A and B are shown apart, each in its own frame.
Chain A
Amino acid sequence: MSDTSFTGRLRSFADSDLFYSFRRSRTTVVAAVALTLLFVGAVFAPLIAPHNPFDIANLNLLDSELPPSWLEGGNPAYWLGTDTQARDVLSSILYGLRISLFVGFASVILAAVLGVFLGLLGGFVGGIVDAVIMRVADVLLSFPAILVALLINGVMRGILPANQHESAAILVLVLAIGLTNWVQYARTVRGSTLVERQREYVQAARTIGVGRLRIMLTHILPNVLGPVLVIGTINLGMAVLTEATLSFLGVGMPATQPSLGTLIRVGNEYLFSGIWWVVIFPSATLAVLVLAVNLIGDWLRDALNPKLR
C-alpha cells in the first residue's frame, strides 16, 4: 500500500511530522540554509576563494591592512580586507572554515566510533570490562571537556618532537577532541545494548550459536544508531568550538595552517591598532557556524523526542 518508489518516499517524507516541524520552524530553515552555504564554501574553498592566502610569493605587502571593500580605503579585490601580511581575510576564512569543519567532523566520527564500540563492548560483555569502562567514563565526564582536551594535547606535544608539532597539529587536535567526547555515545549505546541484549531475538541467535561479535554488529548496532546520530549532531557544535578554543589558546592549529580559532587569535593581537576586520569576520563566521549547528541539533532533538509530540 505504501509507495516505496523514490518520489513516493520523498512525498511521504515531505508529509511526515518531522519535515512538517522543520518547515514550521523558520529559524531551523534559516540555520540549515546558512550551514549549507558554509559547507559549500569550505568544501570548495580552493575553487571559490579569490586568493590563496598561503601562497607567500604572491602576497603584495603594499596591500596589507586594507579595510573591507565597502569602507574608505578598501579594495574590491579583497572583499573583507586584508591582514598585516596582506592575506585576504575572506580567503583565509574559507580555508580556515575548511580546517575547522574537518577537525570537527573527524573528531565527532572518532568519538562516535570509539564510544559506540566501548558502549557495545561494555553492554554486551558486562562484568569487569563494563565496570572499568563505565568508571573511566564517569571520571572523564566529571571534568570539563576543555581541560581534558588540553591535557591530551599537552601529552601529545610532549611525546612528539618539537619540530613535528606544526605538521601533526591536525592529528593531535582530532585525537584530543575525539578522545574527550566519546562518553555520551558509550553511555547511550551501552544502555540500548543492555536492553536489546535481553530481547528474544538476541537470545535466539545465541542459542543457535551465532558469535557474540556478529550479534553485536548485525543485531544490536542498527537499533542504537538513531540516538547516536542525534548526539553526533549536537556534539559537532561543541567539537568545532573546542577546536577553536584550543587554537585560540595557542595550542591548536598553527598560524601557517590556521583554523578560524587561529585567525581570531592572530587578529586579537591587533585589536588596539584598529584593524578590527581581521578579528570580527572570522569570529562572526565561527559564531554563525556553531549557532546553525546548535539550532539544527536542538530542532532534531525536539522533533525526535516522543514525549513532546
Chain B
Amino acid sequence: MFVFLVRRLLQAVMVMLAVAFIAFLMFRFLGDPVNNIVSQDATQAQREEVRQRLRLDDPLVVQYGRFVVNAAKGDFGISYRNSRPVSALLAERLPATAELVLVAAVLSLVLGIPLGIYTALRPRGVLSQGLQIMSLIGISLPTFVTGILLILVFSVWLGWLPSFGRGDVVDIGWWSTGFLTASGLKALILPSFMLCLFQLTLIMRLVRAEMLEVLRADYIKFAKARGLKNRAIHFRHALKNTLIPVVTIFGLQLGGLIAFAIITETVFQWPGMGALFIQAVNFTDVPVMAAYLVMVSLIFVIINTSVDLLYNVIDPRLRTDPTRATGRGA
C-alpha cells in the first residue's frame, strides 16, 4: 500500500513537471516576451535592457528551472493585457469560480443520485421515461444553449433572477463570498444550475446504468433466492455496489466542472477564472494562459490522485490485498 502511495505521488509530480514544461515553452516562445512588455516605439537599448532583465539568454534548462521555482511560489509574471501580476489576477477571480463549482457539484450529487436510483428501479414509470428523454437531450444540448434558455425564461420573460454578475459580495480576508447576501445567492442560482446540469445528467445516467448492471449480477440473484426483501436488495446490496464506481467517476468529473465553468462564466458574465482564461486566449496573454494551465493541472492532479487513493480505501478487495491495487477502474 505504501509502495503504491509513493508510486502514485511520483506519477503526480511527473505530470506536473511535464505540464510546467509545456507552460514554460508557451511562456518563452509564444510571441516575443520582450515585445509584450515594452511599448511599440522602444529603442533597441531598452529592448536589450529588458532582455537582460528577463535573463532570456540563459540556458533553457536554467530558465525552465527558474520558471518552475517561480511557479511553485505562485509567481507567473505580469499579464500582457493589463500589466498586473498574474497571481493577483488569479487570486481575485478564484473565489467566484470556487463558489460556483462547489454549489454545482453539491447540486449534481444531491439531485443526480436519487433520480438515477429512481430511473433504475422504475424504468417504465412516466417520470422515468420523461427523465430519460430529458437527460438525453441534456447531453446533446450544448451547455451554453441551456444557459441561454435559462436566461431567456428566468431573466428576460419572468424577470425573477439576474442574468449577469455575482450580485453583492462580502469580503472575508482575501476571499470574496456571495453566500452571505441575498443578491449574491440569487445570482448564484442560474449559473450553478446550468453548470450542474451536465454533471447531473451524467450522474443520473451513470447511477442508472450501474444499478441496472448490478441488479443483473449473480449475487443479487442469490439475494433474491434467499428471500431478502426488495428494499434490502435495492438499497443495501445494489446501492453500495453502485455507488463505488459512481463516487470515483464523480471525483474524476470534478475537473470537468472547472472546465465547464469557463462556459458558464461566459454566458452569465460571471467574474471568475474561466472568463479570465478566455480573455487570455483571445488576446494571447501568455502569462495568464500559462498560469491557468498550471493551476488547473494542479487541481486535476490533486483530484485524480486523491480519487485513486480513496478508491483503494473504499473497496475492501483492495484494502486487504494491496497487490491488486492498480488504480481506478481495475
Q: Are A and B direct contacts in the complex by CB distance below 8 Å?
A: yes
**Smallest distance from the beta carbon of B44 to chain A beta carbons, Å?**
22
Is the contact region of chain B dominated by helix, strand, or loop, or is it mixed?
helix
- Give Cα distance in the complex from A251 to B278, angstroms: 8
- Give Cα distance in the complex from A13 to B309, angstroms: 49
Stretch at the interface among A60-68, A69-77, A196-204, A240-248: A240-248
- Give Cα distance in the complex from A143 to B300, angstroms: 7
Q: Which of B152-185 contact A (CB under 8 A)?
A: 152, 156
B136-A249 in contact (CB<8A):
no
Q: Which of B234-281 contact A (CB under 8 A)?
A: 252, 255-256, 258-260, 262-263, 266-267, 277-278, 280-281
> Would you call A279 an interface residue if the criterion is a C-beta within 8 Å of the partner chain's C-beta atoms?
yes
Q: Which of A138-166 contact B (CB under 8 A)?
A: 139, 142-144, 146-147, 150-151, 153-155, 157-159
> Would you call B43 an interface residue if the criterion is a C-beta within 8 Å of the partner chain's C-beta atoms?
no
CB-CB under 8 A from B140, the residues of chain A are: 237, 241, 287, 290-291, 293-294
B15-A139 in contact (CB<8A):
yes
**Smallest distance from the beta carbon of B314 to chain A beta carbons, Å?**
20
B255-A245 in contact (CB<8A):
no
CB-CB under 8 A from A279, the residues of chain B are: 148, 152
Q: Which of B31, B152, B260 contacts A144 (CB 8 A)?
A: B260
- Give Cα distance in the complex from A227 to B186, angstroms: 47
> Would you call B284 an interface residue if the criterion is a C-beta within 8 Å of the partner chain's C-beta atoms?
yes
CB-CB under 8 A from A268, the residues of chain B are: 148, 267
**Smallest distance from the beta carbon of A176 to chain B beta carbons, Å?**
11
> Would you call A271 an interface residue if the criterion is a C-beta within 8 Å of the partner chain's C-beta atoms?
yes
B137-A142 in contact (CB<8A):
no
Q: Which of A144, A158, A287 contacts B30 (CB 8 A)?
A: A158
CB-CB under 8 A from B289, the residues of chain A are: 151, 154
A157-B284 in contact (CB<8A):
yes
- Give Cα distance in the complex from A144 to B277, angstroms: 15
A245-B142 in contact (CB<8A):
yes
CB-CB under 8 A from B26, the residues of chain A are: 155, 158
Contact-size category for A: 35 or more
Known: A264-B145, A279-B148, A287-B141. A154 touches B300 (CB 8 A): no
Known: A158-B286, A251-B281. A271 touches B152 (CB 8 A): yes
> Would you call B143 an interface residue if the criterion is a C-beta within 8 Å of the partner chain's C-beta atoms?
yes
CB-CB under 8 A from B151, the residues of chain A are: 271
**Smallest distance from the beta carbon of A97 to chain B beta carbons, Å?**
14
Contact-size category for B: 35 or more
One digit per residue, 1 when the CB lies within 8 angstroms of any chain A CB and 0 when it does not, for chain B 281-302 equals: 1101010010001001100100
**Smallest distance from the beta carbon of B292 to chain A beta carbons, Å?**
9
**Smallest distance from the beta carbon of A31 to chain B beta carbons, Å?**
10
**Smallest distance from the beta carbon of B297 to chain A beta carbons, Å?**
8
CB-CB under 8 A from B144, the residues of chain A are: 244-245, 248, 264
> Would you call A38 an interface residue if the criterion is a C-beta within 8 Å of the partner chain's C-beta atoms?
no
One digit per residue, 1 when the CB lies within 8 angstroms of any chain B CB and 0 when it does not, for chain A 255-294 equals: 0000001001000100110001001000100110011011
- Give Cα distance in the complex from A158 to B259, angstroms: 21
- Give Cα distance in the complex from A295 to B132, angstroms: 12
B30-A248 in contact (CB<8A):
no
> Would you call B60 an interface residue if the criterion is a C-beta within 8 Å of the partner chain's C-beta atoms?
no
A151-B293 in contact (CB<8A):
yes
**Smallest distance from the beta carbon of B208 to chain A beta carbons, Å?**
14
The chain B residues found within 8 Å of chain A, CB to CB, are 15, 18, 26, 30-31, 136-137, 139-145, 148-149, 151-152, 156, 252, 255-256, 258-260, 262-263, 266-267, 277-278, 280-282, 284, 286, 289, 293, 296-297, 300, 304
A sample of 30 inter-chain contacts (CB < 8 A) reads A139-B18, A143-B296, A143-B297, A144-B255, A146-B263, A147-B259, A151-B289, A154-B289, A158-B30, A158-B31, A158-B286, A241-B140, A241-B142, A245-B143, A245-B263, A249-B263, A250-B266, A250-B282, A264-B144, A264-B145, A268-B267, A271-B151, A271-B152, A287-B137, A287-B145, A290-B140, A290-B141, A294-B136, A294-B140, A295-B136
